[in-house]
Amino acid sequence: MSKPAFRSICLGSLLAIGPTLGLMLWFTPPAKANDPVIVEIKLEQGHFVLVPAEIKITAGQSVKWVPIEKDFDVAHHLAPATSSDAFEETHDFDSSNPPTRTFNTPGVVHYFCKKHPKTMVGTITVTPANQ
């Protein structure tokens, strides 16, 4: 096989594979690691609670708080437990606008709901990304 012929076969393969790869990437959904971890807000025995109350995530991951009692448009409002907890306070929210927060710094974050401070208490443990 002469060199020019070989070259044109290679080029032909690239031209065929390129668009195929491009299409595959186009249709591939985002990686699971980037999907937010869901914490549900449920009504249990008359009290709103976080499920799960304690979660462990990897630095860079996001958490989304989703009220699943859609019949009750009760507002929630998440805030750090203390000034040393790296938690960005939310606005009032319900099932129509659940908040998401991304945690980039390893450590333990305590938070609670200002509307339901006795029962909606949670902890997020953020581990380093390379562990």
Query: Which residues contribute to the site for Cu ion (CB under 5 A)?
Result: 48, 76, 113, 115-116, 120
Q: Of 113 and 126, which CB lies nearer to Cu ion in the complex structure? A: 113
- Considering the complex, what minimum distance in angstroms separates the CB of residue 96 from Cu ion? 15
Q: Of 63 and 120, which CB lies nearer to Cu ion in the complex structure? A: 120
> What is the spatial distance between Cα 9 and Cα 87, in angstroms, rounded to a whole number?
57
End-to-end, the C-alpha distance of the chain in Å comes to 51
Q: Of 76 and 101, which CB lies nearer to Cu ion in the complex structure? A: 76
- Considering the complex, what minimum distance in angstroms separates the CB of residue 84 from Cu ion? 22
In our burial notation (b when 16+ CB lie closer than 10 A, e otherwise), range 26-46 reads eeeeeeeeeebbebebeeeee
Largest CA distance in the chain: 80
- Considering the complex, what minimum distance in angstroms separates the CB of residue 125 from Cu ion? 21
